[in-house]
Chain A
Amino acid sequence: MSKKIDINVKHLTRVEGHGNIIVNATDGKVEKVEWQVPEAPRFFEAMIRGRSYEDIQLIVSRICGICSISHSLVAIKSVENAIGINISEQTDKIRRLLHYSEQLQSHVLHVGYLVAPDLFGVKSVVPLVSAAKDAVLTIVKAHRVANEWSELLGGRVTHPVTIRPGGFTMLPSEKQLKELKETLTNLVPDLMAIVDVVLSVANQLPAFTRETEYVSLREKDFYAFYDGKIVSTDGHTEEVCNWESVANEYVSDQSTAKWAKWHRSSYAVGALARFNNNYEQLADVAKDIAKKFGLKKGCCNPYMNSIAQLAECGDVVVNAIKLIDELLTAGIKQEKIDGKPKKAGRGNAAIEAPRGILFHSYTFDEKGICLGGNLCIPTNQNHGNIQKDFEKIVPEIIDQGQDAVRQKLEMLVRSYDPCISCSTHMLDVQFVK
């Protein structure tokens, strides 16, 4: 009798959005491996046409609940770029600080709530509560701290309301910033505790590698999250205004989300891409975390993306504290926002969302009415790479049987921290015997 494997995961769980995994194999021979994105398409580029430059952020923030801060910030940067609005140094700093909060929040959520259950061999964070209550409470605490931080600066955790073209509608007080600094300083030991918990089960991360081109931003003075040029591990560099020639988006039959490719047939973005491109700029504490897991620059194991995220959490906290110090030294000043359009034209901007590089472009007329836009979301850029990973890993592990194959593929997709509602929406694996 021939041994058939038929994996059909419809709507993969513990990911943001809807995705399916299909694997068909007979007697160890792989017939079909497919990563599908059936999320309902949402048409943001179409919806923003005719809207005022002031409303763009409010609309596109709704692309994704998890990375709404990144979407909002990149939209505003792009809008400002298009219509010629300048911002103050203070605004830039507070935006960066706000953006850090999202990295922490999203990374903790991803590693703690979505990936950790895989490593512990359970189906969700709920059973983890009884198995490792303290660990879960620490994760919850870190997550709460990050959220309160977002709320302080953004007015709300999800879909921030304080940021608008030209500046902030509300500023934190110096007292609040001091309190934040103290909270973040106290968070470091908790973060280390989380690192240790993950370390204790890190042997569950599959050892798989595939040569990959990793793409991210690079910035002079910072480990790039908020701004920079586009760079890749293949040594290429590109200005943000030319991002469309990097992403080269195309429509795949497997997906309601668009896919992307640059020099190779696919590329990867995300924490591991940033890590591989900008390792040197990481704060020491982040490098230490990476070392604990043996994660080194040049790593091509997609499962290690979660570890790169953990390392980044360290960087975020340390650099956020530095930023707060700078803000406090300068003193918080109330500013008058001059957000009126100065010119017509197209603007481009990029930012590193927690799950990878994110591009927004908009074109406005001289009144600031949006004529059109183009957005390219990190998860879109990873879809092609996930497919390529699938094609390599499935033959390598097909002997381990249906359940193991299914489990590893689910974990693989999760490790990319996909945001499928972003790219449109998410995941589901299907297997048959």
Chain B
Amino acid sequence: MSVKKLSKESLLNWVDEIISTKKKVYGVQKHKDKTDRFEFAPLDSTADLRLDYDVTVLPPKKYFQPPTETLVAFDLKGGYKAACDTEKFIVIGIHPYDMIAINQMDELFQKDNYDSHYMTRRNNATIIACDVATASKDIFASSMKTATVKKGYDILLTDIGNGYVAEAATKKGQLLLDKAKTEKASDADIKARQAVWENNEKNLNKHPLNCQPSEVSELLEKAYNHPVWEEKAKTCFSCGSCNQVCPTCYCFNVHDDMNWDLKSGDRKRTWDGCLLDGFTKVAPDHEFRAKKSDRFRHRLYRKGKYVPSKIGGQIACVGCGRCIGACLPDIANPVKVYNRLLEDTSAVKK
């Protein structure tokens, strides 16, 4: 599919049109309470859209796996009925690292058993991704090889200064892009986009990882009993903040809610976190991962080893840096942990 160019103005007009014709459009904008931060939220006006944002407080996973969703409706008499979100929607402004996280989730939610709740929403979404224009304070996407993205989106926008290069990757995307006033991207435009990519692949790197992301899994094989887990977890609140803000965390809890008739109700799933006390607790009162340090280690193994083994070796940390900001005692930074292990194991080698 061809590569187009949009002037800044025609981009705005295009978004205007999208907002006026589609029911559900979400886009990156200033956080409603804290105006120095950004969030994905329903986009009412094109003027609110901020494609120059650094990072959003929550990743866009909330549109694919909402914090709370109904899985089935039940009725004491009539049994169970599947509940499904079937509305079509558009998300504007997903950064490459978040896109890659969604690509990973797609694989995980289809693997073993096809999760129709996640996948229905995923299939109903049109994603307009955009390349990073402003580096956030903790981003390390370059280290994780997630600074640019090649698939998953329907349209990718790249700000090249005098306009946007837009490339549709799907038919859905092409149809949508056709509505914009575009011109064919010139060689210079394509080169400018390449330059943005090259720059991002190098410079979105506030916390450089001292090895290839694909090597982390092997690194962890030797680190299971390393003292770093105990040391760091000493100040862990077990608050699950790192889980909640992470674009690649998808563990959930399930609970039933009754209606007032006490005969019908909903079975819901809500975000959960493997760092939380009680995550592995079973009746009567046995907890399998009771130690904070074990839970702390579990998360970093999940990102670096367990999930990668399910998705062809890709590391399940996309370097968005959200957990770094979310963690009060400042222990969540995956790079710091992996680098520390690297140092120690290479020290052992020497």
Contacts and interface: CB of A to CB of B under 8 A. Distances in A.
Nearest to A171: B33
A173 B35 contact: no
A334 B35 contact: yes
A192 interface: no
B31 to A, nearest CB: 12
A334 B35 CA distance: 9
A334 B36 CA distance: 12
Nearest to A169: B33
Chain A interface: which size bin? under 10
A263 B119 CA distance: 76
B349 interface: no
Contacts of B32: 173
A170 interface: yes
Contacts of A170: 33
A173 to B, nearest CB: 7
Nearest to B44: A175
A199 B295 CA distance: 65
A334 B32 CA distance: 11
Contacts, number: 3
A320 to B, nearest CB: 23
Interface in A140-184: 170, 173
Contacts of B35: 334
Interface string A329-368: 0000010000000000000000000000000000000000
Interface in A79-135: none
A162 to B, nearest CB: 11
Nearest to A170: B33
A88 B41 CA distance: 30
Interface residues of B, number: 3
B224 to A, nearest CB: 45
B344 to A, nearest CB: 45
Nearest to A175: B44
A170 B33 CA distance: 7
B19 to A, nearest CB: 15
Interface string B30-48: 0011010000000000000
A334 B33 CA distance: 9
Interface string B221-251: 0000000000000000000000000000000
A171 to B, nearest CB: 9
Interface string B66-78: 0000000000000
Contacts of B33: 170
Interface string A172-205: 0100000000000000000000000000000000
Contacts of A334: 35
A170 B35 CA distance: 12
B36 to A, nearest CB: 10
B43 to A, nearest CB: 14
B60 to A, nearest CB: 23
B42 to A, nearest CB: 11
A170 B34 CA distance: 9
A169 to B, nearest CB: 9
Contacts of A173: 32
A173 B31 CA distance: 12
A170 B32 CA distance: 10
Interface string B9-40: 00000000000000000000000110100000
Nearest to A173: B32
A334 to B, nearest CB: 6
A143 to B, nearest CB: 19
A173 B35 CA distance: 13
A173 B33 CA distance: 9
A35 to B, nearest CB: 40
A415 B269 CA distance: 49
B250 to A, nearest CB: 30
A54 to B, nearest CB: 19
A142 to B, nearest CB: 22
A156 to B, nearest CB: 15
B48 to A, nearest CB: 12
B204 to A, nearest CB: 30
A173 B29 CA distance: 15
B53 to A, nearest CB: 18
B41 to A, nearest CB: 12
Nearest to A334: B35
A23 B4 CA distance: 90
A412 B33 CA distance: 47
A286 B32 CA distance: 37
A161 to B, nearest CB: 13
Nearest to B35: A334
A335 to B, nearest CB: 12
Interface in A302-324: none
A334 B37 CA distance: 14
A283 to B, nearest CB: 33
A334 B30 CA distance: 13
A334 B31 CA distance: 13
A363 to B, nearest CB: 34
Interface string A35-74: 0000000000000000000000000000000000000000
A332 to B, nearest CB: 12
B54 to A, nearest CB: 20
B254 to A, nearest CB: 29
A173 B32 CA distance: 9
A401 B32 CA distance: 63
A359 B53 CA distance: 49
A168 to B, nearest CB: 11
A140 B33 CA distance: 31
B193 to A, nearest CB: 36
B147 to A, nearest CB: 33
A211 B33 CA distance: 53
Which 3 interchain pairs have the tightest Cβ spacing?
A: A170-B33, A334-B35, A173-B32
Interface of B: 32-33, 35
Interface of A: 170, 173, 334
3 contacts: A170-B33, A173-B32, A334-B35
